[in-house]
Amino acid sequence: MYKIIPSPQPAVNDHLESFTGELLSTRELQIVMMLFSGLTQSEIARDFNRSRNTIRNHVANACKKTGKCSTIELINWYINSILLLEYGRTFEQIATEEIIE
């Protein structure tokens, strides 16, 4: 049974390009979204019918393009990209505001 593979939000990639000048591929962005949703690289490989090494290569490419060196940092980048797009602030800024108030 295959899971529904998410469609990346173009605005996230636009946000990335504004910071790094480089876009994630559609597949790289899909994989980041799937990691964010809690899937492992092995589960993602199964859903895409690809090897785990292929998924690992996509993750490594996404890490290079975003300047992040781990899956956790990549997921954190994704969360902050969404927050910046929706609220104009990062998680750290939002958390600091909550503590101050």
Query: Going from the N-terminus, what domains does the chain have, and what CATH number goes with each?
Result: 10-100 (1.10.10.10)
Question: Residue 100: its pLDDT value, please?
Answer: 54
Alpha-carbon distance of 11 to 3, in angstroms, equals 23
Q: What is the pLDDT of residues 16-67, one digit of tens each?
A: 555 544 678 888 888 988 998 899 999 999 999 999 999 999 999 998 888 8
Alpha-carbon distance of 46 to 42, in angstroms, equals 6
Residue reference for tokens 């990639």: 13
Q: Give me the mean pLDDT over the 65-92 stretch.
A: 80
Q: How far is CA 16 from CA 3, 22, 29, 63, in A?
A: 26, 7, 11, 12
Alpha-carbon distance of 17 to 65, in angstroms, equals 9
